Amino acid sequence: MTIRSATFAISAHTFAQCPESELPEFAFIGRSNVGKSSLLNRIAGKGPLAKVSATPGHTKMINFYTINGEWSLVDLPGYGFAQKDLADRERFQQLILDYLGGRENLVSVFVLIDSRHPPQKLDLEFTRWLLMEDVPFVLVFTKTDKPSASEVKKNVQLFTDTFAELGISPPRMFLTSSETGAGRIELLKFIQDELAALEEE
Ligand SMILES: Nc1nc2c(ncn2[C@@H]2O[C@H](COP(=O)(O)OP(=O)(O)O)[C@@H](O)[C@H]2O)c(=O)[nH]1
Ligand SMILES: [Mg+2]
């Protein structure tokens, strides 16, 4: 798939502020600092769209981007960042749950996982929640340029094992790096296939 245009559309602080849209949507979620904004920029490939932050917990709203005028990428707030203000943290969590549970044009969620670490409790809890709620998702391992190939393989395998223990077949998995661009073509192919499947419905 060729990216002809990628533009920032709008930011939403509440679910009610999310714009009504007919465009199929793909949402990025994961722990703060996992590399959501970097990967979004890499996939769009049109220069910096989303702000990449040195300090975790920066994105406190939902940002919508329109690609080729045909579909949307959505940067959700990171989960697991210990906001000092509890009310603030609950507001983000509610925003995420409202969006994932209620967004009608949501096609698939990209759950970003840091490939340097074995499965983290929060990531597992979150994927379990998605399974329970029947929200379609894939796992996207980030920063694969950092650890050794065998370390990445081990951490991916640990995830696969976890799903096997739950008695469910593992979701699609992608290995990516915003540094090298690894995985970009595979993710775009996935998006293209999903869009094609929608057309056939
Ligand atoms: N080496 C490496 N660093 C990355 C990669 N993706 C993101 N980072 C760095 O990780 C930090 C957090 O990235 P960001 O995209 O803001 O994460 P977000 O909080 O999930 O949106 C930044 O310092 C990025 O430069 C990657 O693929 N490889
Ligand atoms: Mg971000």
Looking at the CA of 152, which ligand is closest? 1
Tokens of 197: 């499947």
For residue 21, the number of C-alpha atoms closer than 13 Å in the C-beta half-sphere is 24
Does position 50 have pLDDT exceeding 70, yes or no? yes
Please state, rounded to an integer, the average pLDDT across all residues of the chain: 90
Report d(CA 33, CA 17) in Å as an integer. Answer: 25
Question: For atom 19 of ligand 1, which residue has the closest CA?
Answer: 33
pLDDT score of 84 more than 70? no
- Grade residue 27 by pLDDT with cuts at 50, 70 and 90: very high
75 C-alpha to center of ligand 2: Å?
A: 7
Residue nearest to atom 28 of ligand 1 (CA): 143
User: pLDDT-based confidence at 41, cuts 50/70/90?
Assistant: very high
Instruction: Report d(CA 38, CA 126) in Å as an integer.
Output: 21
Pocket test for ligand 1, best of 29, 37, 38, 122 (most atoms within 8 A of CB): 38
CB 126 within 8 A of CB 119: no
pLDDT tens for residues 108-127? 999 999 999 999 988 998 99
Q: What is the pTM of this model?
A: 0.93
Find the helix or strand (DSSP H, E) in which 173 lies. Answer: strand 173-175
Question: Per the domain annotation, does 116 fall within a domain?
Answer: yes
Question: What is the C-alpha separation between 154 and 35, in angstroms, rounded?
Answer: 20
90 CA to centre of ligand 1 in angstroms: 24
pLDDT at residue number 82: 52
CATH number of the domain that 86 lies in?
3.40.50.300
Please report the pLDDT score of residue 56 as a whole number. 52
| 1 within domain boundaries | no
Q: Is the CB of 115 under 6 A from ligand 1?
A: no
Q: Cβ neighbours of residue 173 under 8 Å, at least 6 residues apart?
A: 138, 139, 140, 141, 156, 159, 160
Q: Which atom of ligand 1 is nearest to the CA of 178?
A: 27
Domain assignment present for residue 99? The answer is yes
pLDDT at position 104 over 70: yes
**97 three-class SS:** helix
Is residue 37 within 6 Å of ligand 1 at its C-beta?
yes
Range of the domain at 81: 6-200
Widest distance between CA atoms in the chain? 47
Task: Say yes or no to pLDDT of 201 above 90.
Answer: no
Q: For the chain, how big is the Rg over CA atoms in Å?
A: 16
Q: How far apart are the CA of 181 and the centre of ligand 1, in A?
A: 13
Instruction: Answer yes or no: are the C-beta atoms of 191 and 73 closer than 8 Å.
Output: no
pLDDT tops 60 at residue 55 = no
Answer yes or no: is the C-beta of 52 below 6 A from any ligand 1 atom: yes
If pLDDT is split at 50, 70 and 90, which confidence band does 46 have?
confident
Q: Which pLDDT belongs to residue 17? A: 95
Percent pLDDT > 90 in the chain is 71
Phi and psi angles of residue 112, each rounded to the nearest 5 degrees, phi first: -85, 135
Residue 118 within any structural domain of the chain: yes
If one counts the domains in the chain, the total is: 1
- Tell me the C-alpha distance between 35 and 17, whole Å: 25
Question: Residue 8: is its pLDDT beyond 60?
Answer: yes
Render pLDDT for 140-161 as a digit per residue (tens, 0 to 9): 999 999 999 999 999 999 999 9
Question: Looking at residues 173-189, what average pLDDT do you find?
Answer: 98
DSSP state of 170: P
